[in-house]
Amino acid sequence: MNKNRMPENRTSENRTPENRISDKAIIGWREWVSFPDIGIDKIKAKVDTGARTSALHAFNIEEFSFNGQKMVRFKIHPLQRDNDYIVVCEAAVIDTREVTDSGGHCEKRFVIETPITIGNETFSIEATLTDRDTMKFRMLLGRTALEKRFIVDSSKSYVLSKNINRKKGIEK
């Protein structure tokens, strides 16, 4: 048998779909994501394999207690270059961590756990809350959220969110 030829018995059922490698979906270096439980319909996320934990833009963070559970209420500008549109979110605090950013600055941050939707997949992630108003992306998707689910293709953008109308956040 010629080593360069595909075996004759290979069928379309055996082929890996274009946007998957084994059981992992391919994701671009940036994707539109949503956080259904905290009211964020869409936010552009930069996929950052150098960051361990995901980071979500937040400002005016207020700590409070509800039924004995430590909670935070925070505001977010989910859309880049739009400081008029504000979403107010509430989430349970699962931890407080010292996080060192890429510039070497250490900051104590609240950590929340919330479902995220990327493409057709919804799963829970941990995200730290920090003011990213001056940053290009309001969300960093860290490697612990990616592991066992995605492979990053750094040459592509919006692989799993290509059907989103970027101006309105509505699926086409």
CATH of the domain at 74: 2.40.70.10
Q: Does the residue 63 lie in any domain?
A: yes
Q: Does the residue 10 lie in any domain?
A: no
Given the DSSP bridges, would you call strands 54-57 and 40-48 parallel, antiparallel or unpaired? unpaired
Give the E-state strand segments of 119-171 in sequence order: 121-130, 139-142, 150-153, 164-165, 170-171
pTM here?
0.80
Question: Tell me, what's the pLDDT at 58?
Answer: 95
Across 1-15, 18-32, 111-125, least confident range: 1-15
Q: Kindly state the average pLDDT of the residues 44-59.
A: 93
The domain total for the chain is 1
Distance CA(163)–CA(131), nearest Å, equals 29
Q: Does the residue 168 lie in any domain?
A: no
DSSP 146: H
Q: Does the residue 51 lie in any domain?
A: yes
Question: Tell me, what's the pLDDT at 102?
Answer: 72
pLDDT band at 20, cuts 50/70/90?
low
Retrieve residue 98's tokens. Answer: 């010292």
pLDDT band at 152, cuts 50/70/90?
very high
Retrieve residue 67's tokens. Answer: 């039924």
Which residues constitute the domain of residue 102?
A: 19-147
Q: Does the residue 117 lie in any domain?
A: yes
Three-state DSSP class for residue 144: helix
Q: Does the residue 32 lie in any domain?
A: yes
Retrieve residue 161's tokens. Answer: 């969110």
Q: Does the structure show a pLDDT above 60 at 12?
A: no
| Cβ-contact 73, 90 below 8 angstroms | yes
Q: Does the structure show a pLDDT above 70 at 3?
A: no
Give the E-state strand segments of the chain in sequence order: 20-21, 24-28, 30-35, 40-48, 54-57, 59-66, 69-76, 87-100, 106-118, 121-130, 139-142, 150-153, 164-165, 170-171
